[in-house]
């Protein structure tokens, strides 16, 4: 999952970013309200972790603007403000959940899973392409009756392919969706992950479910 983290405290942002990355999330970081609005308006995220007290434009205003633009990405708002009035203001601005600082990292993960699960339920729980299925709530992947064990990054990679089945996905599209904007990646990283997925997902003696479009990128077929 790709998450927009909006936090202006460098030390806290570093801890949150490293912890979430280790848990398999792809994290883009913004440190002010204007940057958060621009990022959320131009990039598709699975959730936004939004600090209330930000330089330039505070988090409540950012949330209201995004909702006014019909950007419905789940928002987990975090802040040191902890009165009932503050919590109500956060929800009124469009937040899906509210996390009080200081918080334990385990609580952050639980609440993040909760808001993204709600979004999954609003869409659909199961992705299916031919005889390949993925449960978005549990991350269980199966090919016919065979379970497929994937790493968190491989799961995110496969989910992106499945959500865009039948479409040609270029390497820049895949890199933008699955890696942090400021991360340098090797030129063959996409090809490496495709090879990993093929080894784990494909069936012996059958054409790969992920087809190579020579000179352009890849496409997930309807059934391999």
pLDDT in tens, 55-105: 888 999 999 999 998 888 999 998 887 677 777 788 888 888 888 888 888
pLDDT tens profile 33-49 = 999 999 998 888 989 99
| CATH number of the domain to which 134 belongs | 1.10.10.10
Question: Scanning the structure block, which residue is given the tokens 């339920």?
Answer: 121
What is the Cα–Cα distance from 148 to 132, expressed in whole angstroms? 10
What separation, in Å, do the N-terminal and C-terminal C-alpha atoms of the chain show?
25
Domain that holds residue 15: 2-122
With beta carbons less than 8 A apart as the criterion, state whether 172 and 212 touch.
no
Domain boundary among the residues 58, 87, 122 is at 122
Same domain, 13 and 38: yes
Same domain, 92 and 23: yes
Same domain, 98 and 135: no
Q: Does 30 score more than 80 pLDDT?
A: yes
Same domain, 20 and 113: yes
Structural domains counted in the chain: 2
Q: What is the per-residue pLDDT for 119? A: 58
Same domain, 199 and 115: no
Half-sphere exposure of 63 (CA within 13 A, CB side): 27
Domain boundary among the residues 96, 122, 148 is at 122
**5, β-bridge pairs:** 29, 49
At 219, the pLDDT band (50, 70, 90 cuts) reads very high
Same domain, 95 and 177: no
Domain boundary among the residues 122, 141, 161 is at 122
Same domain, 53 and 73: yes
Same domain, 112 and 153: no
Q: What is the per-residue pLDDT for 145? A: 84
Q: Does 224 score more than 70 pLDDT?
A: no
Same domain, 110 and 142: no
pTM of the model: 0.61
What is the spatial order of strands in the sheet that 217-220 belongs to?
A: 168-170, 217-220, 210-213
pLDDT tens profile 154-169 = 888 898 898 888 888 8
pLDDT tens profile 112-131 = 888 887 655 455 568 889 89
Q: Report residue 37: phi and psi, to 5°.
A: -60, -45
What is the Cα–Cα distance from 92 to 124, expressed in whole angstroms? 26
Same domain, 72 and 130: no
């Amino acid at each position: 999952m790709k998450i927009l983290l909006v936090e202006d405290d460098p030390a806290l942002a570093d801890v949150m970013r490293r912890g979430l990355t280790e848990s398999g999330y792809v994290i883009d970081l913004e440190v002010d309200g204007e940057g958060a609005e621009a990022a959320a308006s131009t990039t598709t995220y699975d959730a936004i972790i939004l600090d209330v007290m930000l330089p330039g434009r505070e988090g409540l205003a950012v949330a209201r603007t995004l909702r006014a633009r019909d950007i419905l990405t789940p928002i987990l708002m975090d802040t040191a403000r902890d009165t009932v009035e503050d919590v109500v203001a956060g929800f009124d601005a469009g937040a899906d959940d509210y996390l009080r600082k200081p918080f334990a990292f385990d609580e952050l993960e639980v609440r993040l899973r909760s808001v993204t699960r709600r979004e999954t339920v609003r869409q659909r729980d199961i992705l299916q392409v031919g005889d390949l299925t993925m449960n978005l709530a549990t991350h269980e992947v199966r090919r016919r009756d065979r379970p497929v064990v994937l790493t968190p990054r491989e799961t995110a990679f496969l989910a992106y392919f499945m959500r865009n089945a039948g479409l040609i996905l270029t390497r820049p599209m895949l890199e933008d969706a699955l890696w942090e904007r400021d991360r340098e990646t090797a030129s063959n990283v996409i090809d490496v992950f495709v090879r990993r997925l093929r080894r784990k997902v494909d069936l012996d003696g059958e054409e790969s479910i992920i087809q190579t479009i020579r000179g352009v990128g890849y496409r997930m077929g309807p059934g391999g």
